[in-house]
Amino acid sequence: MIPPEFEYYRPKDISGALSVLTEHGDEARVLAGGHSLIPMMKLRMADVPHLIDLQDIAELKGIAISGDRVTIGAMTTQHELINSEALHAAAPIMREAALQIADPQVRYMGTIGGNVANGDPGNDMPGLMQCLDAEFTLVGTEGTRTVAARDFYEAAYMTARHDEEILTQISFAVTEAGYAYEKQKRKIGDYATAACAVLITKAGGKVATASIAMTNLSDVPVFSQAANAALVGTPCDKAAVKAAVAAALEDIDPTEDNRGPVEFKKHVAGIIISRAIERAWSRA
Ligand code: FAD
């Protein structure tokens, strides 16, 4: 289908983008890689009379690692995340997760900013960002503010970002934790039936810290404090993994769709969570 008519803007800096956004209010949307927004416009599920393309704004691109902090510009593509050796050294879970998103064509265009700002429960980066305890920087005409990924998601496609704000960067701490991103999907290029990000640190043969977050198992990503607590202080044996999986399953709320009924999704989630914990522990 062909989208309805729209005005196209291509500002060179953030203030140029903000001025169009402010002038047209909820009639304007920013465009990143376009892999969610353009299909929505073509299907006429999104009506965007004023489309602001961010691709010429250089300050929104790039990966910087300074001290123990990783900062990623919102317009950095998933392809760039995968190919950054510096990012791989600082947070190897990023490459493991990004490689499981869609296919190479989508990853050449799709951006980390679009993936986290979209609010689609099927996007993989939001759960991963909650696992990493990332912070999102939002810039609007009123100034700049930071929102924790764990506080950002309110409902499907509803986030803490105000309409007139642009997500400029994502940051999180460098991590040496054992890691795993496990995803079950129907075929290559599909969104998750269930996915799980895990980071585990080890001290004295026991779990010192655990961070577990899940994708597409509720209308928002699910960060499970109860699952983390079930692992900490244990030797991550079968009983501890079972307890953590049980706790995580209490926190999810999947819905029936073309990926299966609720019981099936819970079953898949249990397997994915347990595999992710075991693999992260083996790398801790
Ligand atoms: P866009 O589509 O340009 O934008 C998405 C939304 O975010 C829009 O509402 C836009 O206004 C808003 N937005 C974008 N950037 C900003 C910003 N800087 N500030 C404020 N708002 C912003 N994703 C997955 O995670 N996992 C998958 O398995 C997966 N499979 C896919 C399969 C196919 C066939 C396709 C087409 C896409 C798939 N995707 C998947 C989505 C893809 O990975 C993109 O990351 C995702 O579409 C959003 O990124 P984008 O850059 O394309 O954003």
Q: 229-247: per-residue pLDDT in tens?
A: 999 999 999 999 999 999 9
Strand, coil or helix: 65: strand
What pLDDT score does 196 carry? 98
Contact 6, 31 (CB under 8 A): no
DSSP string, 59-86: GG--EEEETTEEEEETT-BHHHHHH-HH
Rounded Cα distance between 196 and 210, Å, is: 13
Mean pLDDT of the residues in the chain: 97
Nearest C-alpha neighbor of 106 from the set 76, 80, 78 = 78
Ligand 1: residue whose CA is nearest its atom 16 = 114
Q: Report pLDDT digits (tens) over 238-277.
A: 999 999 999 999 999 999 999 999 999 999 999 999 999 9
Average pLDDT over every residue of 166-171: 98
The finding on whether 138 has its CB within 6 A of some atom of ligand 1 is no
Percent of the chain with pLDDT over 90: 96
Q: 181 has which bridge partners?
A: 197
Rounded Cα distance between 199 and 222, Å, is: 15
Rounded Cα distance between 267 and 75, Å, is: 36
Tokens of 153: 């998601």
What pLDDT score does 67 carry? 94
In words, the CATH class of domain 7-53 is alpha beta
- Considering the chain, tell me which residue range(s) the CATH 3.30.390.50 domain(s) occupy: 178-283
Is 3.50.50.60 the CATH number for 178-283?
no
Q: Is residue 2's pLDDT more than 90?
A: no
Mutate to test the pocket of ligand 1, among 103, 115, 183 (most ligand atoms within 8 A of CB): 115
Tokens of 144: 């700049």
Tokens of 229: 């607590």
Q: Is residue 189's pLDDT more than 90?
A: no
- Considering the chain, tell me which residue range(s) the CATH 3.30.465.10 domain(s) occupy: 58-173
The finding on whether 111 has its CB within 6 A of some atom of ligand 1 is yes
Q: Is residue 89's pLDDT more than 90?
A: yes
Average pLDDT over every residue of 72-80: 98
CATH node for 58-173: 3.30.465.10
What pLDDT score does 188 carry? 87
Rounded Cα distance between 252 and 212, Å, is: 12
